[in-house]
Amino acid sequence: ITKSKTQLKQGMLENVMRQFNHAADIIGLNSNIRKILSITNNELLIHFPVKMDNGDVEVFTGYRVQHNNALGPYKGGLRYHPTVDIDAAKALAMWMTWKTSLAGLPYGGAKGGIQIDPSKYSNAELERITRRFTYALGDNIGPEHDIPAPDVNTNSQTMAWIVDTYMSTKSPAERSKNQHVVTGKPLGSGGSEGRDRATGYGVFLNIKLWAEKKKVNLKSKRFIVQGFGNVGYWTAYFLENEGAKLVGVQDAYGTIANSDGIEVSKLYQYMQGNKGSIVGYALAQVVDKDSFFELDCDICIPAALGNQITADNAAKIKAFLIAEGANGPTDVEGEEILLKNGVGIIPDILCNSGGVIGSYFEWLQNRNGELWQLEEVMAKLEKKMKEVFEKVYETAENRDGDMRTAAYIIAIERIEKAYVQRGIFP
Ligand code: AKG
């Protein structure tokens, strides 16, 4: 948050490449496959005009980067944020490839979005921007080719606009076959029960499973959350249900703390009448934004943007566990310090994978004309998350305890196997 936008963007691509190369070195990854995975398959950059409410036309820049599809269709979110650019999209697309592979899903990795501060636009403008971007993407996305989902500052409403626009470009007989072009849709438009809470539930389950392994009781453990959007809120909700205590929150506009605890439902209710922000919440103290990661706590959940935990603040972190709800919140230097200090890290590609696993369930339901109950979705998610967590934890324990490298090893080996089995078209 203290870094300039340029540093944020450059850092993410550098980080994902360093993480990948570190794991690739350890397993002695085939050099040809390393070449393929070091670069993205396709990068789309689209400038598209949209008429604003006042009649003026603005030209926006949208991105879709498709990193790899060795295991299945490209999959990954679309974010609306000023830091979205080609390098950010490349880094985030690569993380999706590792995430879907690690989770054992039949997907590759992609990511994209629009370089925009959505708070500056009306709802009607956001609808036109989304529809025009979807139209411009054309068949570069598709239900069996590349399947977007919500990400930072996009939600089920955004997905509803995308599916409607995409389907309207198809012939009447083909339309209904295209509902699974995006996941994270509203319930009434082909969305799945549980997709809204899937990422946060996954983060919570990872924390719970980690705590069980380490014989830590989550009751009265204090946690802080950076970003109180969908992921941050649901993670806090499930942790509070388990008896843990929220003691600090940061969003894009402010930072608050209360060592006696912040009631998750009360804060959420307050935010609904406060343009979605935590600023001004009376039952907590205002804290300087740069000291958020220094707050006294047991568990720290970065659930906002990338490159938040760095060499500048890692040594000051008091938590014994970092659970990465965001993509790329910890940079390589920050991680080295944390590992040296014995801080546990549940890496992003494992920790926040509940979202894409939930998306996979939605996609399957649409494809097969099925409707699953909430309990069924949550039970399936829990089973899957446990399987993936166990695999990563065991691989890490058999090495040096570093769960990120363990997760990368599993993810890369699965893709390597697919390339080795099929060969590479001459
Ligand atoms: C992510 O996991 O970072 C995503 O972008 C979500 C992808 C999905 O649900 O398809």
Residue 311 CB contacts under 8 Å (≥ 6 apart), including other chains = 331, 333, 334, 337
Distance in angstroms (rounded) separating the CA atoms of residues 336 and 331: 9
Tell me the CA–centroid distance for residue 75 and ligand 1, in Å. 7
Distance in angstroms (rounded) separating the CA atoms of residues 229 and 288: 20
pLDDT per residue of the chain (426 residues) written in tens, 0 to 9:
344 444 444 589 999 999 999 999 999 999 999 999 999 999 999 999 999 999 999 999 999 999 999 999 999 999 999 999 999 999 999 999 999 999 999 999 999 999 999 999 999 999 999 999 999 999 999 999 999 999 999 999 999 999 999 999 999 999 989 999 999 999 999 999 999 999 999 999 999 999 999 999 999 999 999 999 999 999 999 999 999 999 999 999 999 999 999 999 999 999 999 999 999 999 999 999 999 999 999 999 999 999 999 999 999 999 999 999 999 999 999 999 999 999 999 999 999 999 999 999 999 999 999 999 999 999 999 999 999 999 999 999 999 999 999 999 999 999 999 999 999 888
Tell me the CA–centroid distance for residue 379 and ligand 1, in Å. 20
Tell me the CA–centroid distance for residue 340 and ligand 1, in Å. 30
Which pTM was predicted?
A: 0.96
**Does residue 183 line the site of ligand 1, with CB under 6 A?**
yes
User: Which amino acid makes up residue 411?
Assistant: A
Active site residues: 111
**Does residue 76 line the site of ligand 1, with CB under 6 A?**
yes
**Does residue 77 line the site of ligand 1, with CB under 6 A?**
yes
Tell me the CA–centroid distance for residue 127 and ligand 1, in Å. 21
Give the C-alpha distances (Å, rounded to integers) separating 400 from 329, 336, 339, 389.
22, 13, 10, 16
**Does residue 359 line the site of ligand 1, with CB under 6 A?**
yes
Atom of ligand 1 nearest to the CA of 95: 3
Return the residue whose CA atom lies nearest to atom 9 of ligand 1: 356
Atom of ligand 1 nearest to the CA of 355: 9
Most informative mutation of 63, 64, 66, 96 for ligand 1 (most atoms within 8 A of CB) = 96
pLDDT score, position 10: 56
User: Which amino acid makes up residue 74?
Assistant: Y
Structural domain boundaries in the chain: 197-351
Nearest CA to 217 out of 193, 245, 237, 191 is that of 245
Atom of ligand 1 nearest to the CA of 92: 3
Look up residue 206 and give its two tokens. 């990872």
Distance in angstroms (rounded) separating the CA atoms of residues 194 and 155: 14
pLDDT, tens digit, 9 for 90 and up, residues 335-382? 999 999 999 999 999 999 999 999 999 999 999 999 999 999 999 999
CB 149 within 8 A of CB 159: yes
**Does residue 75 line the site of ligand 1, with CB under 6 A?**
yes
pLDDT, tens digit, 9 for 90 and up, residues 48-67? 999 999 999 999 999 999 99
CATH of 197-351, one of 3.40.710.10, 3.40.50.170, 1.20.1250.20, 3.40.50.720: 3.40.50.720
Give the C-alpha distances (Å, rounded to integers) separating 232 from 236, 249, 405.
6, 9, 25
